[in-house]
Structure 1
């Protein structure tokens, strides 16, 4: 039987993008799919680049240069002329940090050319730009991270000199302005716990801004805020998650719909303090395993974040944090890649 050839943009062959790598693994394991990465094929100048059966675009409407825009426009038009099936996953409401005006053209064409528009949370159905295209929309939740990272023997608390009995609050992942780290640092209850912030920082100016903000903290607070900018290697990541009491992710509503960090934490049986973005709302409805909060202004965000952190730390003392962690793990098992495998296969058939 001929296999369906699925081409993922940007790539499914790089383990650094676990969403696409795990999805491709699921398809290939089923046996009737063959998966390739678009940029990998383009780099190799493959004659098969435009001869795949299905093209699955991710973050495609987020070009950062005019040249990138023209290249993506060429890709879309060529696939359209060839009559290829296009699947588009909507990851964000708007690109994080804004985007050049011409990305609106890419989104305009994706809405019209895609056979399927894939969303990962119920709240995404309400996005204004999806109005009129509801018949194309399919909801399949983001899968798990169960087998994405190896176990690690690293002692994270020992590495950073953290009291083994102190609650450890972890921020893990790419550090970008929309994640509001300055707000987290300013409102962290340092008298009750230690905050460890890990991840690569972009843009460079934001790194300097965070460092200056931490330097101005009261000494008693500064001693409990550990800022370790830089990529956490895949072979150590599980140790950071195991060491944490819970994670925190103070996103902005402007762009965030879903959170890979929240799902990563749930995959390791950890709860998360975060705003009630669309993806978090779905998780709460099914499992009530997070500490979510809502805000309308930057001032409210500071107040509600502080309250949620205090509530989670109360949970560390009462044992509620462990119960939430168990429910988080249960949610991920119910929404694993395998649990929704038939729906994933259906995107490409």
Structure 2
């Protein structure tokens, strides 16, 4: 059916200052004629509640685990939303972003909430094929609900990509970790492995820690390492292209236990840099072959050695040909432009909504 400006939906969250993923999708939906509202306003009035045709929830299974009371309050508020969706016969779409919640304290409750979301959802959006197998193993009867729509590319979203210098790149390998600094991202492991290469590698860790205690912990770990720069602050969008440009590649040692997809991996590729990263769903789907430095592990000690091996491999390549890593990054940029094209992703979402409404 043709969409017009009267088609009211909720896309939650409808803005996220730390991630342009939301803006890409919401802007695309609004340009197509959808009226996108906030979840906070869902029950603000009877008229507004009745006007909403569809809700699309992202990270809805995550709970506020700052305290036990906050966690339970968050859980029950979300149950009320799900009850209101069912009572009003609203269409419900959920995007599965992670294998399981990254928050340790609320994991059990988050999983219970995820089960309720899955049972209520009319469609479940996945960003990587491995998600289909995970969902099907947990909920064998929901295969028909699953829709694979790739994660959108970030090409030019944070500003134009900076031109490469004609000067020869420095012999010291420049590694970059960028993004929110949280324990599940294995930053401690990264610092430990970077210390093994004091002359060959310079590591920059850029992003805002999720607590002051974690900030102090990382500063203590890195304090005697001259080859590690900690920029533990929020990195404005406009500065991201420069940070990426100054690196030879990104290093993102995520947890295989909880991570499925990574917007930062897509960000790196979008700005012409390849990555060292575990073989999560994002890496698997793109299938970049030798242009990506992916690995697997089954324990923390194995993870450390796998990282070490990949860094040594990258150092050798960089020393042999300083431009080789940049060439790989540019090939990955072309790949995400094809496989994760923003317009194709938005069109996929619109087609899904139209099929439900």
Question: TM-score band, normalised by the shorter chain?
Answer: 0.7 to 0.9
How far apart, in 2, do the equivalents of 1:57 and 1:321 lie? 37
Q: Which residue of 2 aligns with 1:59?
A: 59
- Unpaired segments of 5 or more residues in structure 1? 154-162
Aligned twin of 1:160: none
Tell me, yes or no, if structure 1 residue 18 matches structure 2 residue 20.
yes
Deviations 1:173-218 (A, max 9, x none): 0111111111111112232121000111123332222222113x4x
Aligned to 2:8: 5
1:1-349 correspondence runs (5 A): 2-3=4-5, 4-12=7-15, 14-29=16-31, 31-39=32-40, 41=41, 48-49=48-49, 51-64=51-64, 65-98=71-104, 99-127=106-134, 128-151=137-160, 166-188=172-194, 189-215=197-223, 217=224, 222-283=225-286, 285=287, 288-317=290-319, 318=321, 319-334=323-338, 335-349=340-354
Deviation at 1:242, TM superposition (A): 1.2
Q: Distance in 1 between matches of 2:290 and 2:128?
A: 16
CA contact (8 A) 1:173 1:198 kept: yes
SS in 1 for 2:51: coil
Q: 1:132 to 1:241 in 2, by over 3 A?
A: same
1:167·1:194 contact (CA, 8 Å) conserved in 2? yes
How far residue 119 of structure 1 moved from its aligned partner, in angstroms, is 0.6
Query: For the Cα contact (< 8 Å) 1:97–1:177, is it kept in 2?
Result: no
Provide the C-alpha distance between the structure 2 equivalents of 1:271 and 1:123, rounded to a whole number of angstroms. Answer: 21
Q: How many residues align?
A: 331
Q: In the aligned structure 2, how far is the partner of 1:286 from the partner of 1:247?
A: 15
Q: 1:145 to 1:46 in 2, by over 3 A?
A: farther
How far residue 21 of structure 1 moved from its aligned partner, in angstroms, is 1.1
Q: TM-score, normalised by structure 2?
A: 0.86
Rounded to whole Å, the distance in 2 between the matches of 1:173 and 1:231 is 9
- Residue number in structure 2 paired with 1:159: none
**TM-score of the aligned structures, taking structure 1 as reference length:** 0.88
Computed over aligned residues only, the root mean square deviation of the Cα atoms, in angstroms, reads 2.3
